[in-house]
């Protein structure tokens, strides 16, 4: 299997949204509201494409995964990363993270603390928890965005990885 990582195209926005929907199904029975949540809007994805903040992983002509990111403070903040279930456990997500890491000196993200394919996975990739008392103002703003969306921030952790 050959995986090519490249910038997403505007014509792939709906395919990216489908990857997000399919990946969210992993949360059924764990966080049903999250599993039923709507994917990123087409306008947000178009904005990220225009800014160079949306990469896709393609294998044998099929989109398998994506990562969406943006500059936040002195890092690139990974907003979303999803892999189609058929392509899980092939290190595609890790390759996407490394591709974003090649563009910056530091990566940050926020994820669920105890979901096995969230914080424990990122720790295996070299991410470290950021103490809540040491969150920079830009990360506190992201926390406020999450709260406005109805996310339970007590279940989440901010993480960083120098690259």
pLDDT tens for each residue of 46-97: 999 999 999 999 998 899 999 999 999 999 999 999 999 999 989 999 999 9
Q: pLDDT band at residue 34, thresholds of 50, 70 and 90?
A: low
Superfamily of structural domain 3-162? Gcn5-related N-acetyltransferase (GNAT) (3.40.630.30)
CA distances from 143 to 10, 147, 152, 155, 158 (A): 28, 6, 10, 12, 9
State percent of the chain over pLDDT 90.
75
Q: Where are the alpha helices (DSSP H) in 40-91?
A: 42-51
Dihedral over Cα of 57, 31, 45, 14: its sign: positive
Q: pLDDT band at residue 28, thresholds of 50, 70 and 90?
A: confident
Helix (H, G, I), strand (E, B) or coil at 42: helix
Arithmetic mean of pLDDT over the chain:
92
Residue 57: half-sphere exposure toward Cβ, Cα within 13 Å: 26
Mean pLDDT of 131-152: 91
């Amino acid at each position: 299997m050959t995986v090519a990582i490249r910038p997403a195209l505007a014509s792939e926005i709906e395919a990216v949204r489908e990857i997000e929907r399919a990946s969210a199904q992993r949360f059924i029975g764990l966080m049903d509201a999250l599993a039923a949540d709507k994917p990123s809007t087409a306008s947000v994805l178009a904005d990220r494409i225009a800014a160079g903040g949306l990469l896709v992983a393609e294998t044998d002509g099929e989109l398998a995964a994506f990562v969406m990111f943006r500059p936040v403070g002195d890092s690139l903040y990974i907003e979303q990363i999803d892999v189609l279930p058929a392509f899980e456990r092939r290190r595609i997500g890790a390759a996407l993270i490394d591709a974003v890491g090649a563009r910056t000196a530091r990566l940050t993200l926020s994820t669920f603390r105890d979901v096995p394919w969230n914080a424990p996975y990122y720790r295996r990739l070299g991410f470290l928890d950021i103490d809540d008392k040491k969150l920079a103002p830009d990360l506190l703003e992201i926390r406020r965005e999450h709260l406005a969306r109805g996310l339970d921030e007590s279940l989440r952790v901010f993480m960083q990885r120098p690259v």
